[in-house]
Each structure stands twice: as C-alpha cells, then as structure tokens.
Amino acid sequence: MTASVRDRARAWLAQDPDDETRAELSALLERVEAGDEDAADDLTDRFDGRLQFGTAGLRGELGAGSNRMNRVLVAQAAAGFAAFLKERDPDGAPTVVIGYDGRRNSDVFARDSAELFAGAGLRTVLLPRLLPTPVLAFAVRHLGADAGVMVTASHNPPNDNGYKVYLGGRDAGSQIVAPSDADIAASIRRIADTGSVADLPRSSDYEVADEAVVEAYVAATAAVGPAPEGATGTRWVYTAMHGVGWETFSRVLEAAGYPAPTLVAEQIEPDGSFPTVAFPNPEEPGAMDLAFAAARASDAEFVIAQDPDADRLGVAIPTRDGDWRRLTGNEVGLLLGRRAARAAAGTPGASLACSLVSSPGLGAIAQQHGLGFHETLTGFKWISRAPGLVFGFEEALGYLVNPGTVRDKDGISASIAFLELATEARGRGATIADLLDELAAEIGFYASGQVSVRVDDVAVIATVMAALRTAPPTAFGDTAVAHADDLLQDPAGLGGDVLRYGLADGSRIVFRPSGTEPKLKVYLDVRGDSAADSAARLAALEQAVRELLDRIA
C-alpha cells in the first residue's frame, strides 16, 4: 500500500458526513497504522480507484472509500451531474426528479442528492416515498424533467446500492449512453478533484412530488392490459422479493380489474437486508422457493415475481409432475413479443427489439407479423432507443411493453401484460404452457440457456476474454464455428466487450462480462426440429462451453 492511498483515505475521512462510514474508516486506518496487512489490502481496495459509470450508472458495495457507495461518492456524483445538466442547458433551469427504493441508505442518498441539486440551482423534485424504479422512469417523462436519478441497486446482493441516471428532452427519458456517460463521469471527477463535499452548496428548497405522479403511473400501467373475462377466479402467487413493488402493483391490479394474488408474506414488505434470499433476483437458484411453496399450498396456476425495485419480472409455472419451473427471460420475452406484434401488425414503422444476447426468436416473430426488428447492445438504454419500438426485451427478465410512457424495463407493466396473456388463455381453457407450445408451432423450437461464472476477482473475467481472443475456439464439442464476431472490433457498429460465435448448425454462443455484477456470462441459443431436439442441442452446447471454460479459466 502506498502513502498516497493513506493520504486519500484521510482526505476522504475529513469530508465524510456519515458517522457510520467515518467510524468504519477510522478503525481501518488504525489497523493499518498498527501493521495489519489485511487492513492495508482492504484500504487499497477501497481507495485505489473509483466506482465508474457502467451499464446502470454507479453501482457497488456500501462502505467507506472512493471504490464504494457512500455519502461522499453520492455527493460528488450529484454535484457532477448537476454541473453536467447546467452545461447542457446553460440558458435554462434544468429540472431533475429523484426516486429511491428500500435498500439501505437509498433514502439518505436521495435526500443528499435533492439538497445538492437544489443548492446548485436546479429545480428538484423528490418522489414522495420509496417507490419502484419504473415510477421514476415514468415521472421523468410525465413531469417533462430534464433528468432523473433512481437510487437503487436493483437485484444486486444486499450490501450493494447504486445511482441510475436518466435524461429527458431529446433522450426521451432513457438511461444515459455515450457520450453523456463519459461527460458525466468527467464532471464528477472534476468535483472530486477540486475540493471537499462539505463545501458544496446545499438547499432544502426542493419539491416533494404529490400523489398525482403515482396515480398517473397507476392509470397508465393499468391501461396496458385490462383484465379480460377469463381473469375471474385466476389463482396466482406474487412475491415482491423484499422490494418496493407491491404497494404500487396492488393499486395497478385493482385498477386493471385482476383478482388479488396469494402473497408470499415473508417477502412482501420492503426490507433492505433481504433476509430470505442470498441474492434478491428471481433468476437466482432458491430465490423463488418460498413462492413455489405458496403456489403448491394454494394450487396456483402460475407465479409472478418482481425484483426489489420492480423493474424485472419473473414467471414460474407448474410442471406435469407437480413441480414448478421458472420460465426463462427469453420464454417470457417471446410470449410478450408475440402479444405486441399481433397488436402492432400493419402499423407503419413499428418494430420489436432485443439485446444481442436475447433469443433470435423475436426476429422470427417480427418477420412473421411484418414488423421491423432491431438487435442492440445489452441494456435498456439501447433497446429503448430502437426506431419505431413497440416492444423490447432482454433475457435477464427485463421487458419494455409501454414505450409511450416508460422508456425502460418495467416489471409492473410487464406483469400486467403477462396477466392479460395468461387470463385470456385461461378463458379458452389454455395454460401458459399451451401458449409456449403455440408459439413454437408458429416460429420453431427455440431454446436458450446460460452459463454464468461468478468471480471474486473481476480480473479473472478479463483473463478469460483475452484467452478467447488469443486462441479463438474453432468448435464447441463436435460442432464447428462457422463465423465469429469480436464486437471490440465493432464489425456491426455495435461495440462492446462481447464475443459472438455462430456455429455450423445455426446455434449461437455469446460471451460477455456482466455490466452490473462480478460475473462472466455465456449465452446459448439453439433452434431444433422439436422440443426434445432443441433441449438436446442446448445440453450438448452447455457441456462444451463448460469444458472450454475449465480449460482456460
């Protein structure tokens, strides 16, 4: 550990307004001075770098230091973002709206931001209480704001938090993209390098939005899929995964006319410690176990889960042997895409969009209904900008079903759209499994899978990607690689740290580091002659990928 790291830590301590992180850092510095090598390593990790804007703005572990989420870092981010907005509109008075969820310190970070934005001369609107991310995304457009900030780490581990940024005006309420992300990061860095956050001007002269904003979101979302006649008597289970979704979702359900679900009581109230799940993400093994238990006890027809900030939707259905299985994000995305395509058929310029790691089946749906199709980089900051968009999704349980009001993934509006699908099918005696069979009969038997490798050291991911570039695979198992794309070379105008392989049998493999978690993700897509054939192809492909990773990791 260098002396400069200790100097940065002491300077950070001098400006930290938070008693908890001050005590944490003071104790760590004392251990360093006493010669504790573990403490020295910890201090270096905290201060030898800064959290950087990524796929969703800032996101990281709570704690003291420039490489953690804390009040100093958030103050720098807020002041830097305010300076960026004023430079973007030097003759106006930018408006920014702020939302926050139920994670630890979300409310503190939101109020700090409100005071700093107001102190910088921005018109600042703070949402009235903890609310889902989609409500904030909606509010940016509904209020005509120039920008929005949502304090959330979405589905990350319990000790994480984050700072997600949206832009209004010409960006239409979407998340930030280049060059704005780099400009904001540079503005934040200038604030961090030029003084103490204790000297930044603050003001309590900010507005607290009234309930009309939430009511407008509820009305717009209920209109996405009003309950059909088949909804009566539907038996289903809902979990909020210890997040903030239920209060708003329950109001939308009532307005749309759907029957109330059986609730997973242990997970229905916001709780930032997430006591019943290791990772509060419907994709994670075990996260929906309590929902499955409630579904068995209530003889439910399906389960709907939202992640902690309610911007993602998970669905599960019963199997023929009485067990439960989660639908993949691709399965849900294709069902919702088919729904949107049918509604938009014949509309000039209408299009569907998905990320490049999501199922190519959406392109088949678009073609079948005479719609445009766009494949984008991962993240709804890209999907939401697709021309003529009527529906977009990515396989990580994100769905955009109402782009006219929310330019981001929205687990609540997606839940309403899915409820409409499920209850319409119920009205004609069909199940969700039947809908999947109908879809396969129309577009073919697509199957998707994922190999996800979580690491303690993110450098391992870079090592694996470098190894793949140095010695590109020529086959996966017995199937030859027909073509390969390295998106760092930007062959299709996309860019990004992504490797994509097309195999001789039409299968596809994509390697990509996660933008929000310490994971390497490998996405697998096949199309078979039958459900059994596609399942066999997928299993063989997964085995080949795992064998490759074992050799190079």
User: Active-site positions?
Assistant: 154
φ/ψ (deg, to 5) at 57: 75, -135
Token reading at 30: 């004392």
Cβ atoms 165, 176 nearer than 8 A:
yes
For residue 185, the one-letter residue type is A
Name the residue among 258, 264, 328 with its Cα closest to residue 296: 264
Q: Is the peptide bond before 282 cis (omega within 30 degrees of 0)?
A: no
φ/ψ (deg, to 5) at 233: 85, 0
For residue 99, the one-letter residue type is G
Number of helices followed by number of strands (H, E) in the chain: 17, 22
Residue whose structure tokens are 């004609």: 428
d(CA 212, CA 201): 30
Cβ atoms 527, 440 nearer than 8 A:
no
Half-sphere exposure of 370 (CA within 13 A, CB side): 7
For residue 338, the Cα-to-chain-centroid distance in whole angstroms is 22
Residue whose structure tokens are 């204790």: 198
φ/ψ (deg, to 5) at 16: -75, 120
Name the residue among 415, 400, 405, 516 with its Cα closest to residue 164: 516
